[in-house]
Structure 1
């Protein structure tokens, strides 16, 4: 009976901590705190040195839960990555995920060696533990700050995070073996790495294709499609690991295959995956927080903080610069990617591997990694939005989040039934029309269901159900989203030069003496299409050399029909307050000065 009571107590405490983690997301959104930091702190408070007083040192259970959680998290992130939209980001992201991790681990390991005098294998092992990034935290912080990244930068950060974890795992396992054995055959080590990649890639792609076929061919009972996919993701991870491959890489590639294929019940699968990912993050972060003992962290505080400072200011930025130099990316984009390499749960998760392997002094790896993650989240986590604005790669959102309800239609019709509320400041409420490929099914007005023909023009407060292809549903969001800017922003403002969307970008740049990258899109509309994946909105801005392009009129298909070009002198003068301009004039300085 005592064991039963203990189990019941564990269930109660575990559920309470999970609920606290969920509710803490509201606090994180309000104050911009990284969720990972909040979850870790809750776990530490419940741990042995905190008010909870729970003694927890089960590294094996933590490793098991962490493996399951990471497989679901990586699968979900990959499933939401659309390859057709991120092709330009694929090559730089993969270089960062491979060579970038190796360089970061080597640079950090060299610093650890110089700082502590530890052996090279031990130093490189610690560098490898903290070499991977957590882009999920970055994207969350940008959303809470009301900022959006350009598709190329956002995709580069996300793909790097999804694919760099396997490389870090390889390095940690390899160096742990070297630390235990003391010597190794280089050819054997390289063969193991190649084998891990090959098996993981094969199982991931093959498993993803099997999941797609099962979803489309098997007549599963209603409601089982989402848990089937989540369970399959964990199974693919486990199978790749059993066969000696990378389970993390397999889960990520399987998610890419499923997310970029036409599958049945995709809306409910995506919704369920989002909820499962949240629960996995909460479970993993809380357990990692409970493992940490603040009294032990204090002893490693100063050297760990020094390692974190080197990693943020030197190691990561230098590695990113070396990796992205061949791609001729603008310096501001390289600087942003270098700064937002937040360390997260994977680093703490990897720090448990030396402990499970029985490596002497393994607790030091865990404590140092934990402090590095905390410093990274505190310093970089709260400056992500500021870094995005300073470098110009993140722009304020021009519309509020839209509420969308998706209903998958049986019979493989190739369409979904999507429901939207018509907001007061949305384009549809201001007279815009649905595109030809979106077929309205019904309109709910004041609690009455109306035929679209009888309803006439849509008004604020209506609720509309539309039939559309799944690949085009996201394009409808902009029509139903309430704008945060004044609707008059859609007109050409004084001091802007009007440009039609199909104007050749290279000729416009040459006409006004603007230096733009050689791989810039062909037309002004294409420039906006690269920046805003689905569609731009009136008032959206894009850097165009030293000038700024501002979207003014949008076609129903999402392309920019009319834009305003604000040249550097005009843009700078217009952003200066009147008192500053008057003061400059008195000194005899022009607006440009």
Structure 2
């Protein structure tokens, strides 16, 4: 095939996949399945009749794409989630992968009638969740998970690749050399992967953040700078024995949580590059597989997928999360969203490249497991989230943000925000309207009110209309309060009232006063007890928005937090018999 024909076909495949995505979103199927399916349709047994059989190229493209996806995923992960999700995620990313590998490995060895080491190799291949699938499906599912659940799933998917890669590489090496497995050697390599990848990833992120702040570039080059730096860190850390996947994720995490002027523009470009990486990777992996070969051991692959989804993953999650404060519905949801995607398929190429016997069998079963996971688990992410009640209503937020003054101290930083008015008959507070712009912004300053694509003059009598766009100068710490102004009736909607409650109280509200007002027995309530302390006492240390307790005939739900401190609590009256 000549160059023009290849470029033409690649463009058509990508174009058709993107256009088909609108249909899959409507019917609730994961978008990644479209790219995988289009690759299979274009393959040697599909309508495209393309004979692609180059595992080494697919392996190279897969690693390159995963590095870009993890870099973008890290940039979108907020460090605040580490407060409640770091240690549970690390437990799942290490012990969880080992447990899943062992359970699936023994089951697969028995079912396929192969040596245990081949079963363990298959278990290690499908043992980790996939960052591309998790980031894509969680952020495009239409639901907002509570911080504890969403953070755990995202950090786990970004941190569990080192363990899976290490297990696959070691088991492949053992099959090639017939040496015995040394537990001490395995633990040493695991520590090296995490330590080198973690340290160099954080240091690289700090260095990149410094470069972004001090080196002036054309705006379009900032995202390319981040991509090139991330890929250099990824490959460099891999070459010295660390985990490049963990390192590039931490680079993205550091940059995404740093205060740089161009962050919004960079994020938009990075999202596009990440989608391009996902599309290209899944198209190529779809081309690599021969669909008819998946039927050879179809029922065994289905049985292994069912065992992984309904037995191995849930048991691993329950064991790994035992020491942590998770509600049972949260544990069940985390076990359900153990999405498998490109990572297992790329890992299944290790044995093929190494020339191992049974490598084709392992690849075909892994591919089928991924298809079942995306179809069954991926298509039910929002439905199961609502069923298990691990979602929280989205908080009011600005639609656009531009940094004007960057400073490590947020009290000296200044940003321009756009807010969409989502309700009618609301007035802008007089203190904001009458505020005169000055060199020092101590209170929110109104910049412009845009209605029907035209700026209008604002005074104390101006009544906002649905769809108005407000531009304001703010300190970042004032954004949440200002966003509430333009969502007052939206925040009082049935959905939010039903979730948080009809009333809002401060976290330091005396518990004894609430008991007297709502007829709750006073026994056991000390005069100094507060509503926040009640939540803390009953739910544990690591609380998130959406956590709730029953107090007599009222329900208290955390509505707003500042770090570890509960600021606002929603109060909902309930039937005494409920």
TM (norm. structure 1) is 0.82
Query: Residue 329 of structure 1 aligns with which residue?
Result: 326
Written as runs of structure 1 = structure 2, the 5 A alignment for 1:74-223 is 74-134=70-130, 137-138=133-134, 140-141=136-137, 146-184=142-180, 186=182, 187-223=184-220
| Match of residue 234, structure 1, among 231, 237, 243 | 231
CA gap of 1:445–1:98, structure 2 versus 1, over 3 A, is same
Q: Map Cα deviations across residues 282-315 of structure 1 (whole Å, 9 max, x no partner).
A: 1111111111111100102111111000001110
Whether 1:563 aligns to 2:558 is no
Query: Residue 421 of structure 2 aligns with which residue?
Result: 422
Q: Map Cα deviations across residues 454-481 of structure 1 (whole Å, 9 max, x no partner).
A: 8844332322222234576577666556
Q: Map Cα deviations across residues 509-530 of structure 1 (whole Å, 9 max, x no partner).
A: 995799xxxxx95377999x95
| Match of residue 442, structure 1, among 410, 424, 448 | 448
Q: What secondary structure, in the 3-state scheme, does the structure 2 residue paired with 1:327 have? A: coil
Greater Cα offset, 362-371 or 22-31: 22-31
How far is 1:19 from its partner? 1.6
Query: Residue 44 of structure 1 aligns with which residue?
Result: 40
CA gap of 1:418–1:22, structure 2 versus 1, over 3 A, is farther
Whether 1:501 aligns to 2:506 is yes
How far is 1:504 from its partner? 5.8
Q: Map Cα deviations across residues 13-43 of structure 1 (whole Å, 9 max, x no partner).
A: 1111112222233123211101122221111
Query: Residue 585 of structure 1 aligns with which residue?
Result: none
| Match of residue 368, structure 2, among 368, 371, 374 | 371
Query: Residue 544 of structure 1 aligns with which residue?
Result: 549
Contact 1:551 1:560 in 2 (8 A): no
How far is 1:391 from its partner? 2.1
Query: Residue 399 of structure 2 aligns with which residue?
Result: 404
Query: Residue 458 of structure 1 aligns with which residue?
Result: 464
How far is 1:333 from its partner? 1.4
Contact 2:405 2:414 in 1 (8 A): no
Contact 1:441 1:452 in 2 (8 A): no
Contact 2:75 2:256 in 1 (8 A): yes
Q: What secondary structure, in the 3-state scheme, does the structure 2 residue paired with 1:522 have? A: helix
Structure 1 gaps, min length 5: 515-519, 533-540, 573-593
Contact 1:503 1:523 in 2 (8 A): no
Query: Residue 67 of structure 2 aligns with which residue?
Result: 71
Inter-partner Cα distance in structure 2 for 1:284 and 1:489:
39
| Match of residue 352, structure 2, among 341, 352, 355 | 355
Query: Residue 537 of structure 1 aligns with which residue?
Result: none
Aligned length: 547
Contact 1:305 1:372 in 2 (8 A): yes
Q: What secondary structure, in the 3-state scheme, does the structure 2 residue paired with 1:196 have? A: helix
CA-based RMSD of the aligned residues comes to 3.8
Greater Cα offset, 264-273 or 121-130: 264-273
CA gap of 1:253–1:138, structure 2 versus 1, over 3 A, is closer
Inter-partner Cα distance in structure 2 for 1:439 and 1:220:
30
CA gap of 1:302–1:150, structure 2 versus 1, over 3 A, is same
Query: Residue 282 of structure 2 aligns with which residue?
Result: 285
Inter-partner Cα distance in structure 1 for 2:288 and 2:262:
39
Inter-partner Cα distance in structure 2 for 1:561 and 1:443:
30
How far is 1:105 from its partner? 0.6
Q: What secondary structure, in the 3-state scheme, does the structure 2 residue paired with 1:544 have? A: strand
Contact 1:550 1:564 in 2 (8 A): yes
How far is 1:445 from its partner? 2.9
Q: Map Cα deviations across residues 203-225 of structure 1 (whole Å, 9 max, x no partner).
A: 21221111011011112233211
How far is 1:568 from its partner? 6.4
CA gap of 1:452–1:407, structure 2 versus 1, over 3 A, is farther
CA gap of 1:89–1:462, structure 2 versus 1, over 3 A, is same
Contact 2:219 2:262 in 1 (8 A): no
Whether 1:390 aligns to 2:387 is yes
TM (norm. structure 2) is 0.84
How far is 1:277 from its partner? 0.9
